[in-house]
């Protein structure tokens, strides 16, 4: 097996490890709540805190550590992650658990941004988009397989061992990274102000808005996927795991399709997917009475709603590599940062709409965000075309 293939596998393992740590709590909420003697709502708040800390801390850590050796920074951050995750397993009360989750969340975003940066370093240019899509797939694999595995471990041995299992995976990954990653890579150092100059570029801040509203589109309905499947569509609770597994499989397929799209068509191919999103989200409330049609539309959404992941990640990385080399690691973190902000926006919107129009119609709120996303992808493509025309004023400039 080639060294590059091994590197790719380890990168996906890192994403899987981070995804398990973030998503696993969802499957063991009840066990944690019972043992720590708090409400399920209070434990659910850990998910919100994790996403918020992840989004807020990532740019700060990324910018402040950019002048140091990337390999050493990655090793230290994974060590901190291991401490936070292991402490979650030893938590004796709610506040202990909260602090441990904050520790894990504070470094998770910077870890994945560094992994993305190393991916662009070790991958041949024609394989970058494919590798990026596989790294995103690592998170989907964690949601499909990691959550039920964590739940099974929690049921059989106790919820603490679910966290300890992630710690074991982390210990396995560390020496593999030490062996496979280049210890020194060429990196352009810049001041904090110089790194943040990336955010003034219209191609970047329009892209950031697109990532945020795309995530809000997904989580505007996905936050309430369980009541949509059981209460609205009438599926039994015993079939829920199978249905969520199928949705997860569609997410994995979506990530691979997203990688292909980044290589062929990229951002210019995206508008039609947002049009389909809008149509499906508007129609969904009228199809919930039919299990087959309703679930079929959910599967279509799962396939296309985040298909922009790889094209957007490559857009941020390529823009930084070409025009802002001092901001490469920051650029690699933008997708994950603002996707988490979008999760918070979409979840909050869904929660409000459940109380106003009911769970059956919350997809209409998501449809509004899909309309905004469609406008943003058109704008982004226009901005990119204008920028290229100014840089290369030849008649055939794209």
Please say whether the beta carbons of 176 and 55 come within 8 A. no
Mean pLDDT computed over 274-295: 92
Closest Cα partner for 15 from 134, 123, 148, 168?
134
Q: Per-residue pLDDT for 398 more than 50?
A: no
Q: How confident is the model at residue 392 (pLDDT cuts 50, 70, 90)?
A: low
Please say whether the beta carbons of 332 and 117 come within 8 A. yes
Q: Give backbone dihedrals phi and psi of 29, rounded to 5 degrees, phi first.
A: -55, -50
Q: How far apart are CA 304 and CA 211, in angstroms?
A: 14
pLDDT score recorded for residue 129: 78
The H-assigned helical ranges of 65-158 are: 70-90, 94-122, 128-141, 147-157
The number of C-alpha atoms within 13 Å of 279 and in the hemisphere containing its C-beta is: 8
The residue written with tokens 């997410």 in the block is 251
Give residue-wise pLDDT tens across range 347-372: 788 878 877 888 888 889 999 999 99
Closest Cα partner for 86 from 107, 74, 76, 101?
101
Q: Which has more pLDDT, 172 or 313? A: 172
Q: Per-residue pLDDT for 341 more than 80?
A: yes
Whole-prediction pTM value? 0.79
- Percentage of the chain beyond pLDDT 90 is 30
Give residue-wise pLDDT tens across range 178-226: 988 888 766 555 566 767 777 888 889 899 999 999 999 988 888 777 7
Please say whether the beta carbons of 63 and 195 come within 8 A. yes
Angle at 341 between CA 338 and CA 346, to 5 degrees: 120
Give residue-wise pLDDT tens across range 110-149: 998 889 888 888 877 778 778 888 887 888 788 777 777 8
Q: How confident is the model at residue 397 (pLDDT cuts 50, 70, 90)?
A: very low
Please say whether the beta carbons of 289 and 235 come within 8 A. no
Helix, strand, or coil (residue 14): helix
pLDDT score recorded for residue 185: 65
Walk me through the domains of the chain, giving residue ranges and CATH numbers.
1-187 (1.20.1250.20), 190-398 (1.20.1250.20)
Neighbours of 208 (CB within 10 A): 18
Give residue-wise pLDDT tens across range 16-75: 999 888 877 766 777 888 888 888 767 777 877 888 888 889 888 888 887 788 899 999
């Amino acid at each position: 097996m080639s060294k590059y293939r091994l590197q790719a596998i380890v990168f996906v393992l890192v994403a899987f490890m981070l995804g398990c740590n973030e998503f696993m709590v969802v499957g063991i909420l009840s066990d944690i709540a019972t043992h720590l003697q708090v409400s399920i709502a209070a434990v659910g708040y850990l998910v919100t805190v994790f996403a918020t800390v992840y989004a807020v801390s990532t740019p700060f850590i990324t910018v402040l550590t950019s002048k140091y050796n990337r390999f050493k920074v990655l090793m230290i951050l994974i060590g901190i992650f291991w401490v936070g995750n292991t402490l979650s397993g030893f938590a004796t009360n709610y506040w202990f658990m909260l602090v441990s989750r904050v520790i894990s969340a504070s470094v998770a975003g910077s870890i994945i941004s560094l992994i993305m940066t190393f991916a662009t370093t070790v991958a041949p240019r024609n394989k970058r988009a494919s590798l990026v899509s596989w790294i995103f797939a690592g998170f989907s694999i964690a949601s499909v397989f990691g959550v039920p595995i964590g739940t099974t471990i929690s049921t059989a041995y106790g919820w603490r061992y679910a966290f300890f299992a992630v710690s074991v995976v982390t210990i396995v990954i560390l020496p593999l990274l030490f062996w496979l990653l280049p210890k020194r890579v060429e990196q352009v150092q810049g001041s904090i102000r110089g790194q943040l100059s990336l955010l003034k570029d219209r191609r970047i801040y329009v892209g950031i808005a697109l990532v945020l509203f795309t995530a809000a589109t997904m989580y505007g309905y996905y936050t309430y996927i369980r009541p949509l499947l059981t209460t609205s569509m009438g599926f039994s609770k015993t079939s829920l795991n199978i249905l969520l597994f199928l949705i997860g499989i569609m997410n994995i397929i979506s990530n691979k399709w997203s990688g292909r799209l980044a290589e062929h068509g990229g951002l210019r191919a995206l508008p039609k997917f947002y049009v389909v999103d809008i149509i499906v989200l508007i129609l969904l409330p009228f199809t919930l009475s039919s299990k087959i049609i309703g679930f079929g539309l959910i599967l279509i959404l799962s396939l296309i709603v985040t298909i922009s992941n790889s094209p957007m990640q490559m857009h941020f990385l390529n823009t930084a590599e070409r025009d802002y080399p001092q901001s490469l690691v920051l650029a690699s973190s933008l997708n994950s940062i603002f996707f988490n902000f979008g999760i918070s926006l979409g979840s909050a919107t869904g929660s409000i709409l459940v109380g106003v129009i009911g769970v059956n119609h919350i997809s209409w709120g998501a449809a509004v965000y899909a309309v905004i996303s469609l406008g943003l992808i058109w704008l982004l493509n226009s901005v990119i075309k204008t920028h290229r025309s100014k840089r290369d004023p030849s008649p055939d400039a794209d």
